[in-house]
Structure 1
Amino acid sequence: MNISVVIPLLNEYESLQELHDWIANVMQSNRFSYEIIFIDDGSTDDSWKKIIELSNANESVKGIRFLKNYGKSQALHAGFEKARGNVIITMDADLQDNPEEIPELYNLIVKEGNDLVSGWKKKRYDSVISKNLPSKLFNWAARKTSGVRLHDFNCGLKAYKNEVVKNIDVYGEMHRYIPVLAKNAGFRKIEEKIVKHQARKYGKTKFGMERFINGFLDLITIWFISKFGKRPMHFFGALGVLMFFIGFLSAGFIGITKLYKLYNNMPSILVTQNPWFYISLTTMIIGTQLFMAGFLGEIILRNKRTGNERYKISETANT
């Protein structure tokens, strides 16, 4: 199979028929063998009813329905698990991503040999204040932190080699950082393509300003995991040793000062009245705790179990 199109969605009933027809027309005109995988992330409208209708009419349409809303990352994870195409295309269900981009994205993977191609919505039709400016700041921070030189990390329209999606773990809200996850997994040929962005035709956006706050927190998480995820002792242990050393020097300073004053018959205060006593005690305790955190992290890492259930599927169609 040439292409799997993975589409996570939440309450997008009005756009599904038009999106399906548009994708099917592009695939047929380019003679691609394909599958469309809709992942209903706990919709409360008739989205699942429409997916069933589409799957009954077209055997290339498959559906996964979550028991409740688990988030876009979990939906993509479920879609990647089911995808069988040589190239995986992800796109949003709101008709803001243009299916006409699919053939060129496919060629950039198959003919150019890229591992991942990320869309760049250079010209956007979103609100400047609520989306464009925060998005620019977010993308700048992501580039600086991750080292992946993309202009639009959050664009839903992306293309992947099958091997990429089968070797990355999209969890939490890490869908924004799939290129970073791919880079960390060893896939280095990551390119960008300018794609058309279209104004939303139906409904309203499901994401608010909180997504940027969550995005920055996730960025810190993925930076930490990429650098220290497999060696937590290098981070916590180093900080622990540094803090303990500061506390040890402070205690030494108190002891030397006390002995010097006693030797020279100089008046001195009680050790417990010296603020450096509490500084040294606190830093040595914190240093010990940090070191133990790193030690426990190493133990957990070596004994962790995979395959934890992150979402519940209530129904499937054609899968």
Structure 2
Amino acid sequence: MEPRVSPFYPVAEPEAEPLLSLVVTLYNEEENIRPLLERIHASLEGYTYEVILVDDGSTDDTVAAVKRHADERVRLLIFNRNYGQTTAMAAGIDEATGRYVVTLDGDLQNDPADIPAMLEKLEAGSWDVVAGRRANRQDKTFSRKIPSRIANFIIRRMTGVHINDYGCSLKIFKRDIAQGMGLYGELHRFIPVLAALQGARITQMDVHHHPRLHGKSKYGIGRTGRVISDMLLMAFFQKYLQRPMHLFGPVGLGAIAIGLLINFYLLIVKLLGNDIWGRPLLLLGVMLFLGGIQILTIGIVAELIMRTYFESQHKKTYRIREVFRGQRGQTP
């Protein structure tokens, strides 16, 4: 079968630019490697594509499994330690050479068979991003589904980016959008928001979701605090990145006004002959309020400084120990 290329664009040489770059992050997925590559190759037969696997410091034999089963379309980036899913995803996207970038997990819960339909929707509708929506999610209800639905609702309301399933890793992007998102920290769950900040046109579609057969999930309810913190940061980026005084100005003025009212009240009490010294509850309330504002401000400023540091000097937030390329003719 001849390699398939998009009917909406001129034909490109596969060696120069594959149609698709699949970015798959791996952490202790030894048993999933062979079936993952088999599913990818079966689902994308006739397409020009590359598979970029990023091993995020696995402690099992994931790397050895990839080296056994990778063919010439597979590249493996091996981190020298565990950096986290966002950093691993950023490294894979940086290495992508395809016209479109596809992200998916390496645990076999995402189905590569959904990629052709997502690609067709991306091209036919002139979209920049198509996000997967797990129509029949195969996860535990109380520990995964319900917290996820609550988080998705809050993120939609705070950011104005109306995606039903922020947690689904299966997404397809135009490459310039994917490589311009600026993934840091643990922001992979906010990828639609980062894409929207670039003016990307985003849609979604139902995709398959399978139960995990091998390995253990790396996610849990303990992520809640980090998700809330990142959500506040995304809300700031979405609404106030180019006009921070519209946020900090009213808050600062409000704090000053409250302080003045409290001081005026205490002055009246003092003039009436009452002792105002030693009121710990009032002092504690003022200190907590002002301290909270300072902490949030420091956090946001630190995030902006970090981005400036890395992007202005073209620094990476990760270090690759080895790059392995599969051999021609090798089959999963």
Give the TM interval when normalised to the shorter protein: 0.7 to 0.9
- Equivalent residue number for residue 312 of structure 1: 319
Give me the whole-angstrom Cα distance separating, in 2, the residues matched to 1:12 and 1:26: 20
Aligned to 2:213: 201
2:165 counterpart (145, 148, 152): 152
| Root-mean-square deviation (Å) | 3.5
1:16 aligns with 2:23: no
Q: Matched residues in 2 for 1:40 and 1:313: separation?
A: 10
Query: Secondary structure at 2:40's aligned position in 1?
Result: helix
Counterpart residue number, 1:236:
248
- Tell me if structure 2 keeps the 8 A contact 1:37–1:62: yes
Q: Evaluate the alpha carbon distance shift between residue 123 and residue 40 of structure 1 in structure 2; reply closer, same or farther with a 3 A threshold.
A: same
* SS of equivalent to 1:4: strand
1:163 matches 2:176: yes
Give the CA deviation at 1:253: 5.6
- 1:108 deviation in Å? 1.5
Classify 1:286/1:238 alpha carbon distance in 2 versus 1 (closer, same or farther; 3 Å). Answer: farther
Residue 66 of structure 1 corresponds to which residue in structure 2? 79
Q: Distance in 2 between matches of 1:138 and 1:14?
A: 31
Please show how residues 156-305 of structure 1 align to structure 2 within 5 Å.
Answer: 156-187=169-200, 189-252=201-264, 268-269=273-274
Tell whether the 8 Å contact from 2:101 to 2:174 is kept in structure 1 after alignment: yes
| Aligned-pair CA distance for 1:53 | 2.8
Residue 300 of structure 1 deviates from its aligned partner by: 5.6
**Is 1:124 aligned to 2:131, yes or no?**
no
Asked if the contact 1:246–1:283 (Cα under 8 Å) also holds between the matched residues in 2, the reply is: no
* Cα distance per residue 1:64-112 (max 9 Å; x no partner): 0111111110011001100111111111111111111111111112222
Partner residue in 2 for 1:54: 69
Q: Contact conserved, 1:242 with 1:287, CA < 8 A, in 2?
A: no
> What secondary structure does 2:105 align onto?
coil
CA-CA distance at 1:146 after TM superposition:
1.7
Cα displacement (A) at 1:153: 0.7
1:41 maps to 2:48: no
Moved more, 204-213 or 108-117: 204-213
Q: Judge which range, 34-43 or 119-128, deviates more.
A: 119-128
Q: Is contact 1:41-1:75 (8 Å) kept? A: yes
Larger Cα Rg: Structure 1 or Structure 2? Answer: 1
In the TM superposition, residue 158 of structure 1 has moved relative to its aligned partner by 0.8
Given that 2:269 and 2:276 are in contact with CA atoms closer than 8 Å, whether structure 1 keeps it comes out as no
Give SS of 2:223's match.
helix
> 3-state DSSP class of the match of 2:172?
strand
**1:2 to 2:19 alignment:** yes
Partner of residue 102, structure 1: 115
Change in CA separation of 1:269 and 1:127 when aligned onto 2, cut-off 3 Å = closer
Residue identity matched to 2:58 = S
Structure 1 residues 122 and 213, CA, compared in 2 at 3 Å: closer, same or farther?
farther
**Partner SS, residue 36 of structure 2:** helix
Show structure 2 runs of 5+ residues with no match.
1-17, 327-332
What amino acid sits opposite 1:239 in the alignment?
Answer: V
Assess if the C-alpha contact under 8 Å between 2:109 and 2:210 holds in 1: yes
TM-score, structure 2 as length reference? 0.80
